[in-house]
Chain A
């Protein structure tokens, strides 16, 4: 049962343009959403997060939008740079009854071309 889904395995965007990465979830009890970026042979690094009580959070070139009614969030990168080429994981946080736990999506590979 995949509670967090990233339906696009890959995305290619030209340098300078906007990259939009999407994520859907099924569990309405998730209270926090995060995006992680991963380069090959490295661990993921935290990028940006958003609380379920907000609909937008911005940090420099990165903005995350949350649409709770649609159970959908997206990460916007503007402008896209070649160094942004990586795999992006969406993650959602929810309470299990004994601990808060992160559930990850399957990732979207972003390629920023010159």
Chain B
């Protein structure tokens, strides 16, 4: 079955440590995205990549970094510079750069808790 795999489901880190969230897709999609969900807020775009070796900042990129060395993989690093890293992180992909013509497929998310 094709899909998006995010691991781990739950992640705990101490403040000041960088942490990398994994996202792998076998849908052969060109575009991949990272969103963050906080209670009472919509999904906010962190970074997106329309093609391998290219990525763009989203609305809340500060304190995060990404890489896109392979089509299937789009890891997100939450750095110590991110002021409020505790959140639910969602990875998504689409056949082409998003729009209504190309709905997003989401993974099941990683809940990161930083204490």
Residues of A within 8 A of B (CB): 2, 4, 6, 9, 31-34, 36, 41-46, 49-51, 89, 93, 98-107
Q: A43-B106, A44-B106 are in contact. Are A100 and B99 (CB under 8 A)?
A: yes
Cβ distance A16 to chain B, nearest Cβ, rounded Å: 29
Interface range on chain B (Cβ under 8 Å from partner):
20 to 34
Give 15 new A-B contacts, CB below 8 A, not counting A43-B6, A44-B43, A99-B98.
A2-B42, A31-B99, A32-B99, A34-B100, A42-B108, A43-B90, A44-B90, A44-B106, A89-B42, A98-B56, A99-B97, A100-B97, A101-B45, A104-B35, A107-B42
Q: Which residues of B contact A31 (CB under 8 A)?
A: 99-100
Q: How distant is the Cα of A15 from the Cα of B106 in the complex, in angstroms?
A: 28
Q: In this assembly, does B4 line the interface, its C-beta being within 8 Å of a C-beta of chain A?
A: yes
Identify which of B4, B6, B35, B103 contacts A34 (C-beta below 8 A). Answer: B103
Q: Which residues of A contact B58 (CB under 8 A)?
A: 101
| Residues 58-115 (chain B) with a chain A CB within 8 angstroms | 58, 90, 92, 97-101, 103-109, 111
Cβ distance B46 to chain A, nearest Cβ, rounded Å: 12
Identify which of A34, A99, A106 contacts B42 (C-beta below 8 A). Answer: A106
Q: Which residues of A contact B106 (CB under 8 A)?
A: 36, 43-45
Q: In this assembly, does B53 line the interface, its C-beta being within 8 Å of a C-beta of chain A?
A: no
Q: How distant is the Cα of A105 from the Cα of B43 in the complex, in angstroms?
A: 7
Q: How distant is the Cα of A24 from the Cα of B98 in the complex, in angstroms?
A: 21
